[in-house]
Every structure is written in C-alpha cells, then in structure tokens.
Structure 1
C-alpha cells in the first residue's frame, strides 16, 4: 500500500511518473523466458496457413501457441490454457494516434468508442450487452501505436465473441450514423474533461510532448486528441480513417484459454476469413528526435504544489539501447534506493520525486519529476539544480552490481507474475506480434536486459543524457508564477489552426458475407465452476489462517489483516492508523528503508503495510524460491519498526501535502463530502481514512508508538495465503507469527449518525472546475452474502451497475453529459450506503441531476422489466467462471469467507437466489429501497453551477469540509 500522500497522488502523478522496469512496456509484462518454435503440416481450412508452432517445454517458462495467417492477411494466434473455464479474445489493430494526420488528432481513440456502438448485425449498445449478459468483461484501449479490443468470457461463449468482433471489423460502417457520431464526440469530450482538464497536472503529458516533438510528429499531439480537431471532424473523415486502418491485414487476433483449437480455428475462418483486406500498411519510419538546448515552458494549474518535469528524448521502443536506459532510469529515480530519492525526498527538499523511461514504437523519453517540500521552499529552480547535481553524482558513482541484479530479478519476477492470467499471456503475444511481427520474442527480450553491462549504462548516459537538451516544464499554482524553474524560451504551437490536408482518397470498406450474419451464435452448456480447495488453521494466539494451493506459477501471496484499522482512531487524531502503517514501511531497527528496498528488489519480492477501512494489513508477494528470505524481512518490518523521528516528520509531511492536494481534485472533494454528510464530521466514519490536515497535524511520534503497542496484536488477526506451497511447508515457515503475542483490544460499535436531509443539497465550490461531480446518496444496509444487501445489488444491476444500465445509457449514450454514470450499493461489516452519480459537464449539472432523479423514480415506481431480469441473471451467474482465475481473485474469495464467516458454498446459495428471485420480489425491493430519503452532494465551479442548483427548489448548503 502506498503512503496516504502517494495514494492521493496516484491518479494524478504516480501512475504517470513512477519508474517501472519494463520488458517492453513491461507494460505488457507477462510472459515467458524461453520457447521452442517449429512448423508442422496439418489439414487446415481453405485459405488458412500455419506460420509457427511454439510448444511447451519441461522446466521452462513459456507460452505455447500456434500462429496462423488467413488469406486476407489477418494474423491469428491461439494459446491453449485449460486451467480455468474461460477464454480471452484480443483484437489488436496496428493503428494508434501515431497514424493520424496532422490536424485530425483523436480519430484512433474516437474509433475505440465507435467500435462499441453497434455494427450492421449488432444493434446499438448491443456489444456491451451481449458480452455482459454472457458473463464476460470487456474493454478497449488506445495508445500512440495501437488500438485493442478484448473480452474475457466463459469458454462456452467464444463463438459469440468472434461473431461480435468480426462484425465490427467488417461491417461497422453500415451502422455509423451522424447521431452516434455526435454522441461519442460528446463522450470523448467528457472523458477529456474528467481525466485531463478536471485533474490536477492533467495537461502535463500533452504539454511535454508538444515541447519535445515537432508539430508534424505524430507524438506531438495527445491520444485523446485536441478538441478543436474533433470539432472539425466529420462522419466521412471517420469512415475514411476506419477504411484505411481497420482491415484484417492490419490486425492480430489472439485467443487464449480453455479452447478446442480445431473448432476455434474453424470459427475464426468462418467469421473473419471472408472479410476483404484493407490497404497495405507499412511501418512508420523511426526518426530520432534531439533537442539542441533546454526548452523551458510553464503554466499555472489548480494545484497546491508546483511540479518540475524534465524530459530527454532518447531512442525508440525495442532499440538496442533501451534496456540500458531503463536500468539508468531505475538507478536515478526508481524507489528508495535511487539517487533522486536520496537527494530530494530523503533530504526533505521534495515530497515526491522519481524517474522513468517510457517507450513507444517511435520514441522513448527519459523523464524526471519532483514536487518540492513547502518546508524547504517551493522554488523549482532549486529542484532543477538538485536534479542536475544528481546527474553529476551518477557520473562519478557509476553502476554497481546490485543495479544490474535488480534489473534481472525484476524481469524474471514480472515475467512470472504475468503468467497468472490468460489475459496477461494473450496481451504479451499480441503486443510482440503487433510491434515486431514475432509473438515468440520474450526469450530475446529477457536476454536483452540480462546482457546489459555497467559500461552499457554509462555509455547511454553519456550518449543521450549528459549535456543534452531537454524539455523542462514547470507547473505552478495560480498566482505563483515566480516559482517556475526559468523564464519560458519556448512557445507551444497553435493547434487551433491546422494545415490544409490532402484527401486520403481511401475507398470505403465494403464486405459481403456468404452466410447470414444477423443470426447470433448460440452458447454451449455453461462450464463447471470449481471453487478453490482450501485449508484452515488457527494459532493459539488467535490468528486464523485460510489458504489454497495454486501451482500455476511459482509464487506465493500472503495477506495478514488486523481487524480495526482506521476505526481505532480517535476523531481528533484521525489518520493515526494509516500513518502508523505507513511509518512501518520506513525502515527497521536493523535496516533502513533503502536497505529494505534493495533487499526486496534483489529477491523480486514486495512487502507493503497499510490501513484502510476496518483493517491494518501486511501484503506480501514472493517467488516460492525466495519465500524464506521474504518472510524474514516481513517479520523484521512487523516486529522491529524503527519509528525514527526523521522518518516520522517526513512521512507526516508527505501525508499532509497529499491531503492539501486533494482539496484541488473534484472527485477527492466529493468523496470527502459524501463521508462527512452521510456520517457526520464528528464521527470517525465521516472523515477520510487518512484523516484531515488538522487531525494529522495533531499526531505525534509518541501517538504512533502507542497505537502500535496497543493495536498491533494477533488477537484479531487473519492470514490468507495463495501460492505454490503445501500446508505443512507453509506452517513451518510461520513460526514467528505463531509465537507472536499481544493483548486483545476493543473496536467501538456504537455510532451516532446525522439524519438524512433530502430537503438540502450540499455544495462544495471548486473554482474553474471543468466538470461537476454529483452524488445522490444515503446510508444503507451492511454486508450480507444472501440476504437484504445481496438482493438489493441484484435489483440495482440493470439500474446502474452495468454499462448498459439505465443511468449510464441515459447520461452517457443518450444525453452526452458524462463519460460514465452509475448507481451502487456498498457495504461492509459496519457500514453500508447507496449512491448514484457521475462526473458531468458543468453546464449540464442540473440536467444530469434531474435525469438521475427521474431514472430512480421510474425504477422505484415501475420496477424492472422481464428482459432486465433475464439480463441480470445471465450476466451475474455466468460471470462466476471468471471468478477464481488469478491468485488475487482466489485471495479475495478466501478473505471474504474469513471476514464475514461465510460457508465455502455461499456462491451456490447466491446462484440459487439469482436464478429464483422473481420480478415481483425485485420490484418490491426497488420500491422499498429507492423510496428512502437521499441527499445530494455536488462539487463544481460555483460561478456556473450555483444558478442551476437554485432551480431545484431545495436549500443549498455551502458545505465546509473538515480541514
């Protein structure tokens, strides 16, 4: 678990800037070390050629697969994995924003949306409905280089998925209408508003790319596109783009899971084989980008802390120097052992800093970032100087053996963990095939990193970083321009005036079929679901253990939970549990945080301690071969925390700055407001798990030590273990936990909550927010597996839990107000709630609220339809086939059994309820639950929103959040 400060920043900064080892984008971090490739001759459908066979080998980690080519150019990869009754289908098109024309940005991402809007034989919104009703999960993603669409479904639904994917590959254009085009244009604008414009630092990546790449370079514009470009786009433009890039010859179809290979290939040939090839596609030229001098640019944003971001253009994805540059980024800025952590974070100059070397097909960038610590000044010029000094330090320090060892172990670990899901293996195969034309590339990729030498790292440092020009971006709070690193010497290009573009003159895609595609394939019998076999044990000190053996990968995961968590805080020192847990990650009486991090990295292990909700927890992930050493470090962190004053001061300050930054984020403010209004600001439940600035400021190191002594006890502890280890072997390794002694403690259970006030609306003003966050909510029942709560979730599914729910289709697909809207019941042991809401265009705040109220009222008065009940039954019951695939899913199941004292077969009991609950019963639940009083919470730009709220004719309360 990240520190609370980092948790607040995760959606805004950490996920963008933290350095992660890559086995190419180790983004696709999944798979294999070695494989054997061969070719074989067999009887294949007409027009289908076998290209390659990769077979499994004993004592070698690899993904066996067969690669085929259809006559129209479609590459097909089949991977058989019978461990779970599911299949994963991925269609990757080698087109991303990098294939777009200057002045027509955002089309690749736009098509990701359009591909879900129905095709000639699939009705509008039916794609989501069919996959969901089949018990599956689905999505699509777009980046600079490719677009992919994927589904994970029970194995009996495979043919239906191939029908869906082939229909939108070959017959999408027939279904595109101006109305659909405009709805999705609005949806994309909402997505940008929610994830870019309304998010602190949200324009960072877009700006840094404009600084590095020439205007005509395809990486100079964002994947989501410029809104001015999208506003100029037409349906004709979109159809031409699709016809140019979405042919089968520019796609890879990868299928993995519990498949019959011959039957699967026959289906593939039936549904895809008759589609016409599109225009020929050539790889984009990889032209290196260099900057002759530093480019400085700055802008103000609605943030609490300034941020400095420095980015050097380097090579391109899969370049021979990429691995050495990744190692360099790790040394400079990845984690507590890095130089930037030592010189900026540990020293107290910054609250956060790091480095990364993300790569795309055409270009990579070495980037450094830091947010200054207000206690030592906010000048970004000072931050830039420390980063420059750090580069000089590296030049003198050089590379040590541990640097290289951690790289190699990181690759091995990432590879093995990537094997835990079929989707991970399929993604790996699809990635390498699309980018390199070689799905069986992992062994070579691993070798590239294993062969990096100290000299290689120093060479790439001197070649690409030392003395080279960089893009240096300062983002500062409004009115604090004096904090920038240096006066701007670079002007962003004017993207509102595109050049005159030549017409593509691409013939529109047109396909015919020799069979009736309007007939949706039927499904085979539902697969048998096997609940994990488990064992239990209880130690004399009170620790309950529940575990299952999982031998698919040589890994072990442990989750030790101590009941109580943030409920053990006093209101005036809210955040104490969270801060105590965070401090336990900061070193022991034996090792510093840096030394712990170094040892864990060499083992390829991870240990994190945190607190949220009802639990303080210790999470451990390890390779089986390194479990003893990892558990020794876990015991050291648990029982010998250093609790040093310097660490306490630093972590506390980071937490406070994270809370301060949360005051600039609409969704964070909405979450805080919802808690406070629902549970009361004088109640621990009414405050965020991490507390407030005031309550955290009141916490002392003595409070931390006292909390640890009182509540860090086995008396209310439980341990969940999933991994490739037998019971006897595991118990022999847990002797330290078995010997752990501690006193019991009490968790308060008598809470007073404020009355629900449906005649009041609580408003939080966030000036200049581009969107409003609206939530209609109330307290509701606590968790049960088969009772009132469970049945209420079934009732709500067609209302607001599925993509095709009434609320989402109304606000997103019909009205274009939002990127996504939902309603849901949430419950635990102590609390429960119901909430409906969305992040919406601020000019449509009132309209969206009225639509939500209308949907709830209609549902409450008239209930579900028979079709909605059928949809709910099939979607939820068939999704169980996907429930136990990965160790994390198995761990979640076991934890649920322990936390709520459930029988192992509670899933069967739920299945009985799903299949037998009547429409009348569901409608009675809707009538009861949705008639209960609820209250609105709105966060938005007061200058635009207040006048709209007055039209609701209820009292608007300017909510002052607990500080």
Structure 2
C-alpha cells in the first residue's frame, strides 16, 4: 500500500508514496511568516534550512542541520533502493528488507525496535516506496551516539545475521501487512491501478509490498545478495537535524560508518514516463458502502517542475471547501460526499489522481460526467489569479508547519535527505518552491493541458449487491553508553481572563513563525442523547460553513478563501467531554485570523444547504465506519460496556436514525446552550506573548456575552456505569470474506484523578503502546499472526475504558483470543513489570520526553488535556520528575487496580463462517451475534 500524497500543499518534500514497517523557516529564531511571504515577492531565503554537507571516503553523504531549541536530534537515513530495483518473480524484497532492519544485527543481535524503545526514541519508523527505503527516529541527544552505532551496524553488519528463522518470521508479518491493507474497503485499488497504468516491464507495475507468491519463494541467498547490492554507504544519505553541531556529527558518523566498504556502483534510470494509448476503464466489486471513482493520468517525476505545477492544479480542483470539484460535486450538484486530488510523486514518473466518493443512490456516470465538465472548464480557461494565490499561500504555510519538526515525514531532516536522494542536492526542495512561487494562471493552464488532455485510467469500485457489515579497528561488539536523559522543560502556562470571563492559557514557543489557537468548549458528545446522537459533532462540523455577524454574511466558500488567503487553517472536533475549534495561523496573520475564528465560533448561521449536505456526508461516514472492521468494532463496544443509558455509549458520528432526524434548529440550540465564555477556555501556543495576544483576543471575543453553560447534570452522565456486564461475554459481527479478524477486548475501569494514574502510563505503554509492547511482541514479532495492535485506556472524565484492539489472520482467530487474554492477565498481575523490563520501559518513558513536546501541536494537546481533566497547573512541569520516581511496585499496583481480566468483554469482527465455531469452543460465556448496528441477531 502506497502512502499517496493527496495535498499539493506539502509539495513533494514530504515524499513519494510509502509503505510503513499510523523546522523553522530560515533558522530556529526566524520570524518571517508564511502569510507575509505569500503577500510579498517570493522571499526564498525565508525557507532555507541551513545545513552542511559532507561525503565520506566510502561514498556516504552526511547532511547536518543545527537547531538547539530542544535536546533532540532527528536521525533520517535514506537508502536509494525501492521496489523499482526489483524484477518480476522476485518482488517485495525492498519492503521485506525494511523489516529485516528492525531485527538486530551482527554486533547488536537484540532488535532495533527494542533498542529505540529502550533509549526513548520518538517519531520513528521505517518505510519503503518505489524509489527509496528510509529509517528515521527522533532521539534525545544523550542517545545519539548509540543510535548512530546501531544504524551503522544495520548498514554494514546485517547480511550475515539474517537467518532462515528471521526470513520466515518477517515473511509472515509482511503477508499479514498485505492482508491488512487489502482487507480495508477500497484496499485493492492501488494494486489494480499500478498493473493497468504501467507496461509490464515498468518497475512501477508491481506493488511495493510484492506478491504473496514471490514473498513465499524468496530464498536466503536471494535476500543476502539484495543486501550486498543496495545497502552500501555509497547508496545512502544520513541526515541529522537538531541539537548537534556539524563537527560533532561528522566525528560520530566517521567513527561508526567510514570503515563500512561501499557497495557496487549502480546504474540508475532517471525518468520513464509511460503513455496510455487510450482511456482505460476498470470496475471492481468490493465490500464497500459507496461507489468510488478513481481517475488517474501519468505525470512527470520528482525532479520535473511540471510535477509541482500539477500539484497546484490538484488544489485548485479539490481538497478545500471552495475548490472546484468539491463545490460542484458535493455542494451544488450533490452527487458526491467526498472528493480529493493529489500528485502521487515518484522518481521515474508520477500520477495525477482524483478520487470521488459518490453519494448513495446517485448514478456514478452522472458524477463522472460532472467531473469531466469541471476538468474541461479548467483546461479550457485555466485557473484564476485568486485561485493560484490561495494555493500558494496555503502551500507555503503548510510547508512552514511541516518543517517545524526536526524529523519524521516532512520534517527538516526528511526534506534534506529526500532532496539529496532525488534531487542531487540537499536544497533541491527550494527549486520546487521556486516553481511554486513563479507559477501563474497561464503556466498552470499549459501544464494541465500537457498532461491532463492525455488518455487516462478510471477505476469504479462498486458495492456488492448486499453490503456486509568508526575506524576499521573499532570494536563493534562494544555498545556505546547512553547518557542521562536530558532535562525537559515544559513552558509555563501563562493565564489571563478576558472581560467577559473567557479564560486564556498561553504556552510560548518561538521556534517557528506560527501560532495555534484552540477554543475549548466544555461540552462534547456526552452532551448528546440517544435520539440526537451525532448532534455535537455535526454542530462543530458546520461552524465554518456559513456565518452571519451583524449585516455581514459569509458562505462556506468565502470563509474557506479568507482562511486560505492568510495561510491559516481551521479545524473542528468533538471528544466525549469537550469540543474544539482549532486555528493554525501564521504570526504575521494572527489578528485577522483570530477575527475569522471568532466569527466562526460566535456567529455560525448553519445554512440550510450546508446542513443538508452535512447530513448526507454524515450518513455516508457512518456507512464507511460500519464497513471498516476496526471502526465498526470501536463504535459498537462502548454501548456494550457503558450501557444504552450512558452518553459515553454513543458513537461520535451518531446513528442513521438520529442523524436523519436532526434539524438546523437542533444545531442552533446546541450552540446556544453550550457555547458560553464562562465555560470556555482558549489555549494559545507558539510565536506570541501574553501582552501581544490578549488584546487581539479581547478584540475578537470581548463582545461575546458573558455566561456559563448548563451544569453537567443536565446531560445523561455515565457516572453510574462503573461496572461491566454481569458475566463474561463474546460478541461477534459478520464480515463475509474478511481475510482478517478484528479483536476488540475491553472493560470499564476507574475515572481519572486516581493516585496511580501516572504509574498506569508506563504499564499501558509496555502492554500495547509501542511496536515492542508485550502485545505486539507476542502476536506480531513472535507469532507473526498480525501486523500489530494496541492497548489503551481512554481519556474521559467519567469511567475510562480499558481496551485492546488487534487485527489477526482469520485462521488464527481462536489462538489469538487466547494469547490476548493471556497478555491481559499477565499485565494485570500474573507477570508484573520488573527487572530489565522495568528498566527498559522507564528509560523509554523518560528519554522520549525530550521529543514529546517538540511542536506547538504537542504543547497545545498537553494544555487541552490539563483543561479537560482538571489537572494541576504544574502537572506537566513536574511530569518528568514524577515519571522518573516510579518503581516496580507502583506499576504493579496501578495495573492491578485498573485492569480486571475477568471483566473483559470480547468483540470479534470477521468471517463468521470461518471463525465462529472455534470461538464458541472456547467456552468463555454467552456468544451473541450482532448486526452492524450492534443489535443482536442470535
């Protein structure tokens, strides 16, 4: 499965499609804003990521970017090898080898995941696409040397460590990953698209993950030869960004990498753009709730300026409220519930993709006809100057937000590594920004005509008739020591109160010219009732779809355009206890952005046409949730645990009947009841001060009439729902032909505010919160029955829900249930966390704190959690010290108090023809089969 870029706003700098193993412009203190750049002549220097480049004797390229803002270094290692380097009959090697890289190496045979968890790495993964394999992790500066040692050992000393057992284990994991991707609704589309759009001999014509047959046939000799050929230092770039100097970086990289011999020279095709001789059409039946149309054209590759220009065209066509396809197909013609477009950028060639999800009951031919009409208008007339300006402003603002991060997809280390790998220079991304800045309506019209008047590929996916629910002498056996985890300083939570009683919290961070503003309303989905489930979330969704303030009105398109022109974004969301309206703005554009935010919060008009469309989209969303196994399980279990009398039992999206019965008056009444300044907190994070922002907030929100929302007793609170079902139960939901079974196990636990809450965090992290958790070690790494799962405790004000969610191959459903039950019982007390396991998980919890609050989004989330759960004001300031002070008995006490194995309720979604008889053999209590609405069938 490729990670498709659907927004041109992130450019190609975030990378081509990837398959996973879920900086400040100019400098850390730069203050040029994206909106200022958009309004003024192109200020290229504002987007330069300062760096130094070195090339070692063995050909390894090192790029170093220094930023001392946080004690973290983003490590990003790119190998210029992907599925394009394979050949038919031996596909899937690049991705399979990505998995091998996590299994340990000759001098450190203990596993890379375990090592990263042990040293507290954040934001880490490995991914493979058609053209490259990358590995990245954000590590505390105290662990950088060990990380580089481990990366070097993977590069130079992995081949002889690969064993037949490792091959068999990872082959099983990859096969489950392939099943998991194809088991999702619309999950097989990309496989068909690649095979049909590219000629048989083209290296993009087979899937990155490979075929089941090729994976099964791969031999140990094949794998070792692949490693020797493609993973040498001369075919790699290592990019380090963060709290490191170029001198120290070069010293460490030379120490561990320079003695690794280079691999063979590799011939490399630079471009291969196929051409379709005619339009190609396919149809597919799948277990999906709605018809979906996929339309694709061939496009130029990463280096070509036309790829960037086509990315801008996708944002003219789709992805925002006022984009042409969104407006025509969703709002005006009401033919679709969702539209997206993007350039899936790759090195040899790319594809220009449009996806339309057709509204239920609509003839897909009508939607496709309208798509063709909109596209023809754009090709004939070109985009307007206003459209091009909006795309530029939003793209530059998105890029600024992306490079706030040091590592991960789109972070500074990633941008530099990708530019070096694909563009031949660390700053090649600037050429793409140059192209963006220079683009004019005529330019985009010409580029669109060149590529989009060519033959195209169309796939229509239809529901089945019945939809189912160092130096050469370096001793590499010596593991570098880890330094003490760096101290973590959480910004002070500065407070103010506006004249109407509105509370303000500010967390300053001046590393990038961006500001977040979150308006937190003290009511969420728990304010809904069963008959009006979905009301809270639908109200929030429509806040920015129309406003009426005095004599001025704005429709959804005007609101969307106003935010885009400022390089700002508005998001809304609803949790169980709190609703959020979140603004992402630039520093320079903060004042006008706040005015728009206030207009959306205080004066929504809930237009009748937008309300009707929103209801249609919501009903389509509910259908999608019922079609997706994990989402179906997650929307079903709360009602079983909390009981139908609890508002915590209601899915945020609502039910078909409840949504269908909602009126505009319901939304307006909900808004009037709960949107009160005395029950609202505004959280500001980023590049501003209290002295600067309070007057701006007063100007924007000061006229909001003082008052408080109703007391929480006015809603159906779940306080009485503190115990699980009286007897152990298993619930089953049928998903015919499913390749995997989704297992969801859970029970109600205690509300927050317990003395053991802090100790519970490492318990849950060790149980199911990371790649090497007990749950994943058992079912993914040891037994390879699953691609992975999670175990969590929900974060609500009332009784929390302990749950475990994992998808497993169908023929191992019964066995997996037994193993999950074992892991729950073990963590609850049978096998407490102690000894080396305790040392490792606590090192993970304390060391990863260095990167936990790297971004203003993370600071915002922490502040909002403080508001939502009523945490002490100094909670986060004292968090690190409190975590370091925990001991094994405290973890054992927390696990025993919060996790009760005998109260667990089991919910399994899968093909009941295959799995039901063996599940019943377990004898775990009453077995009930539910429909997709959670109602008993038998």
TM-score by length of 2: 0.92
Paired positions, count: 895
> Mapping of 1:854-893 within 5 angstroms?
854-859=822-827, 860-893=829-862
Task: After superposition, give the CA deviation of every residue in 1:538-564 in whole Å (9 maximum; x if it has no partner).
Answer: 234332211022211111110110011
Corresponding residue for 2:930? 959
Corresponding residue for 2:327? 342
Q: Distance in 2 between matches of 1:402 and 1:151?
A: 40
Contact 1:274 1:513 in 2 (8 A): yes
Partner SS, residue 188 of structure 1: helix
Contact 2:126 2:133 in 1 (8 A): yes
Change (3 A) 1:17 1:318: closer
Q: Distance in 2 between matches of 1:787 and 1:210?
A: 57
Corresponding residue for 1:771? 740
Q: Distance in 2 between matches of 1:416 and 1:425?
A: 10
Q: Distance in 2 between matches of 1:519 and 1:116?
A: 19
Corresponding residue for 1:644? 607
Corresponding residue for 1:487? none
> Mapping of 1:106-121 within 5 angstroms?
106-121=92-107
Partner SS, residue 712 of structure 2: coil
- The reply to whether residue 737 of structure 1 matches residue 701 of structure 2 is yes
> Mapping of 1:376-391 within 5 angstroms?
377-391=361-375
Corresponding residue for 2:577? 614
- The reply to whether residue 407 of structure 1 matches residue 391 of structure 2 is yes
- Give the superposition deviation at 1:118: 0.8
Partner SS, residue 538 of structure 2: helix
Contact 2:73 2:141 in 1 (8 A): yes
Q: Distance in 2 between matches of 1:755 and 1:18?
A: 43
Corresponding residue for 2:791? 823
> Mapping of 1:122-133 within 5 angstroms?
122-125=108-111, 127-133=112-118
- Give the superposition deviation at 1:269: 0.7
Contact 1:33 1:415 in 2 (8 A): no
Partner SS, residue 512 of structure 2: coil
Could you tell me which of 314, 320, 333 is aligned with 2:305? 320
Task: After superposition, give the CA deviation of every residue in 1:362-384 in whole Å (9 maximum; x if it has no partner).
Answer: 1122222212222xx43222222
Q: Distance in 2 between matches of 1:442 and 1:787?
A: 50
Select between 630-639 and 560-569 the one with higher mean Cα deviation.
630-639
Corresponding residue for 1:556? 515
- The reply to whether residue 458 of structure 1 matches residue 445 of structure 2 is yes
Contact 2:728 2:903 in 1 (8 A): no
Partner SS, residue 378 of structure 1: coil
Q: Distance in 1 between matches of 2:322 and 2:255?
A: 55
- The reply to whether residue 531 of structure 1 matches residue 499 of structure 2 is no
Task: After superposition, give the CA deviation of every residue in 1:168-205 in whole Å (9 maximum; x if it has no partner).
Answer: 100001211111111111111111222x2210001112
Change (3 A) 1:398 1:90: closer
Change (3 A) 1:787 1:303: same
Change (3 A) 1:567 1:850: same
Could you tell me which of 48, 61, 70 is aligned with 1:75? 61
- The reply to whether residue 279 of structure 1 matches residue 233 of structure 2 is no
- The reply to whether residue 20 of structure 1 matches residue 8 of structure 2 is yes
Change (3 A) 1:649 1:69: same
Q: Distance in 2 between matches of 1:356 and 1:797?
A: 36
Q: Distance in 2 between matches of 1:112 and 1:937?
A: 33
Corresponding residue for 2:235? 250
Could you tell me which of 803, 806, 812 is aligned with 1:838? 806
Partner SS, residue 457 of structure 1: helix
- Give the superposition deviation at 1:795: 3.1
Contact 1:295 1:470 in 2 (8 A): yes
> Mapping of 1:259-298 within 5 angstroms?
259-298=244-283
Could you tell me which of 911, 915, 918 is aligned with 1:948? 918
- The reply to whether residue 759 of structure 1 matches residue 728 of structure 2 is yes
Partner SS, residue 321 of structure 1: helix
Partner SS, residue 428 of structure 1: helix
Contact 2:639 2:650 in 1 (8 A): yes
Change (3 A) 1:407 1:88: same
Contact 1:692 1:962 in 2 (8 A): no
Contact 1:76 1:252 in 2 (8 A): yes
Partner SS, residue 663 of structure 1: helix
Structure 1 residue ranges without an equivalent (≥5): 1-11, 36-56, 482-510
Q: Distance in 1 between matches of 2:887 and 2:431?
A: 57
Q: Distance in 2 between matches of 1:758 and 1:875?
A: 37
Partner SS, residue 357 of structure 1: strand
Partner SS, residue 739 of structure 1: coil
Select between 283-292 and 684-693 the one with higher mean Cα deviation.
283-292
Partner SS, residue 763 of structure 2: helix
- Give the superposition deviation at 1:681: 3.1
- The reply to whether residue 901 of structure 1 matches residue 870 of structure 2 is yes
Change (3 A) 1:317 1:564: same
Change (3 A) 1:560 1:270: same
- Give the superposition deviation at 1:721: 0.4
Change (3 A) 1:339 1:612: same
Could you tell me which of 171, 174, 195 is aligned with 1:210? 195
Change (3 A) 1:553 1:680: same
Q: Distance in 1 between matches of 2:591 and 2:889?
A: 56
Corresponding residue for 2:35? none
Corresponding residue for 1:504? none
Q: Distance in 2 between matches of 1:319 and 1:33?
A: 25
> Mapping of 1:184-199 within 5 angstroms?
184-194=170-180, 196-199=181-184
Partner SS, residue 903 of structure 2: coil
Partner SS, residue 552 of structure 1: coil
- Give the superposition deviation at 1:835: 1.7
Change (3 A) 1:401 1:274: same
Change (3 A) 1:59 1:141: closer
Corresponding residue for 2:40? none
Partner SS, residue 102 of structure 1: coil
Structure 2 residue ranges without an equivalent (≥5): 18-22, 29-42
Could you tell me which of 99, 124, 127 is aligned with 2:85? 99
Corresponding residue for 1:746? 711
Corresponding residue for 2:345? 359
- Give the superposition deviation at 1:21: 2.5
Change (3 A) 1:949 1:831: same
Task: After superposition, give the CA deviation of every residue in 1:562-585 in whole Å (9 maximum; x if it has no partner).
Answer: 011111111111100111111212
- The reply to whether residue 724 of structure 1 matches residue 687 of structure 2 is yes
Change (3 A) 1:557 1:682: same
Contact 2:273 2:300 in 1 (8 A): yes
Corresponding residue for 2:141? 155
RMSD value, Cα = 2.4
Q: Distance in 2 between matches of 1:465 and 1:566?
A: 44
Partner SS, residue 201 of structure 1: coil
Contact 1:561 1:717 in 2 (8 A): yes
Partner SS, residue 121 of structure 1: coil
Could you tell me which of 415, 421, 426 is aligned with 2:413? 426
Contact 2:92 2:211 in 1 (8 A): yes
Change (3 A) 1:916 1:322: closer
Change (3 A) 1:136 1:434: same
Corresponding residue for 2:432? 445
Q: Distance in 2 between matches of 1:632 and 1:921?
A: 48
Task: After superposition, give the CA deviation of every residue in 1:919-953 in whole Å (9 maximum; x if it has no partner).
Answer: 33433444453455212111111111101211211
Corresponding residue for 2:32? none
- Give the superposition deviation at 1:653: 0.9
Select between 328-337 and 650-659 the one with higher mean Cα deviation.
328-337
Task: After superposition, give the CA deviation of every residue in 1:753-781 in whole Å (9 maximum; x if it has no partner).
Answer: 37424532111111111111112211112
Change (3 A) 1:478 1:61: closer
- Give the superposition deviation at 1:874: 1.2
Q: Distance in 2 between matches of 1:911 and 1:17?
A: 37
- The reply to whether residue 939 of structure 1 matches residue 903 of structure 2 is no
TM-score by length of 1: 0.89
Contact 1:26 1:414 in 2 (8 A): no
Contact 1:86 1:882 in 2 (8 A): yes
